[in-house]
A and B are shown apart, each in its own frame.
Chain A
C-alpha cells in the first residue's frame, strides 16, 4: 500500500512539465510572427534580417515622411471611426428590438442581420461588387463605408444583444415607474447599464473596418487606399521594411482597442463610486 502511494508524484511532475512545454510552444507559435515583425521594424538595414543588427526608428521615420502612407493611415482611421459610429447607431436599436421584442419574424430578422458574419467574405465581396457597379459606387469611399458597416453590424448586434439579454428587464420598468418616458429610460438607464458592451462593440466594429482587406480590394480604387490595402500593394511592388513598421502600428492600434475594452470593463465600478449624486 505504501509502495503504490509513493509512485505518483514524479509522474505528476512529468505531466506538468510536458503541459508547460506544450503551452510554451503554442504561445511561441502564436506570438512568433508578431514578435518578428516588431523586431524587424526597429532594424537599421534595408533587408529583412532577424535578429536586428542595429536598432533604429528609420522605418517609422520613413513612414511619417511618406505622404502616401500618411494618407492611408488617416483614411483608415476615419473610415473605421465612421463605421464604428454607424454600426452602433444602427446595431444598438436593432439589438434591443431583437433582445426584448416579441414580434413575428424576430428570429428571421436576427438571422438576416447576423448573416454577413456567416457568409464567406469573398462571396459578400462579389455580391457587393456587382451591386455597387450598378450603382456606380465602385472606387468611392462610400462603397467602403457601406461594405464595412455591413460587416461590423453583426459584431455590434451580437455583443450588445448579449448584454441586453443579460440585463435585468425590470430596471427599465423601474425607470418607467420612476417617471421616465421610454426614451429617457433608455438613455439614462438602459444604455449606461450596458456601457461596457457598447465600448466593446464599438472597438470591435472599429477593428473590423481597420483590418479589413478583402472588401477593400474588391470595392476600392485609387481614392480608397486603407492601411491594409497599402500594405498589400507594397508587398507586391516594393517590399521594404517600412511594412514591418506599419504592421507594428496596426498591432499597437489593435492592442489599444482591446485594452480600451478591458479598461471599460474594470474601471466601471471605481469610476462610478467616485461620482457625486
Chain B
C-alpha cells in the first residue's frame, strides 16, 4: 500500500520525526484560510497530493506568500490533471492539496530505508545529494551513495548512525546537534521497521538554516502482507486509491489489474496470467486486464471474475485459461457455464482447460449450447480470442516482440 505524502508525514510525526509545520490537506479553496493559520506566518508551500515523482517540475508544488495567492494556486491545482515525467500523457488528477509552512533550508540530502531483494535484507540508503531521484544520483554521483544493512528487528547502532553523519557531512562540532541527528536517523529506521514499510523515503531530507534535520517530502509503501497487524492503516485514504473493480476483486480474493486493451483474461495463477497476457499481445491482441482468479476457482469466484472483467466496457472478448491441478476442470467448466448463464454473457468467450479432467470439462462446455469456443493449445487459444476481439485473423508473433 502506497501512502499519500500527507499520510506518510503524519506517520513520521507520530514517531517524532520533524516535518514542516502542518497546515492540513484541502479539497477546496474555502479551506485554505484555516490551513494557513495552522501553519503560522508565510511563506507557505502548496503540494498536489498525487502519487508520482516529478511533481515539482510539472507545477504541482507552489509557494505562496498571501492568502489570495494561496487560494488561487489551490483552485488551479484541484481538478487539474498533472502530467509528470512518470505519469504518461494521461496525467493524474489532483484531488487534494497539502499546505505546510515553507522552511528555510541550507542543504538537501537523501535518506531511505528499503528492501534489498537480492540480499533479503533491509538497507538504509543515504546521500549528501538530495532533491533528485536516487536513480539519478546513482548515475551522476555514484560515489555519493552510502548503503548500510539494517538488522531486523533491532535496527542500527548509534556508532553506525554516527558513521553515516560523518559520510554525509552532517557531523558537527556541536555535540548536541550530533546527538539530535543520530536520533533522527535511528528514528527513521525504527519507524520503517515498526510500520512494516517496504519503502520509507525522505527526499529531500533537509538541513534547515537552524541546523535541524527535517523531512521535506516523504514516501512510504507498506508491505501489503503485513497489513493484518496494522489496523491503524485501515482508515488510510490511500487504501481507497483503487478503482471500484479493483476493490471488488480484492474483497473476493481475486488479483485484478485493469489495462488498456479489449481482451479480457481470466486465469488461475499469477505467472500463467502474465504469460496469457503476453501471448495475446504476441498474436496481435491487447489484454484488457490481469486477473488471477485464485487456486479455488469456485462458481462464485468465476462469476465475480466475469463481472469484474465486464465492468470494463472496452472488453470485446474473453479468454479463460485454467490449468486444472487440484481444482478439476469439469468442476471449473460447470462453474463457467453457470456463471455465463447467470450474468447473461453476450460477448464471445474462449475457454482453454488443461490438466485434471480436462476432457470432461471440454465436453460440458461443448454441450452447454452457449457462445463458448473451447480450445486446447495455449497458442490456438490466443489466436482464437484475438480473432474474435478484432474480427481479423491473428498475426504470427513477430520475433521483435521477444
> Do chains A and B stick together as partners?
no
Identify the B interface with A (CB < 8 A). none
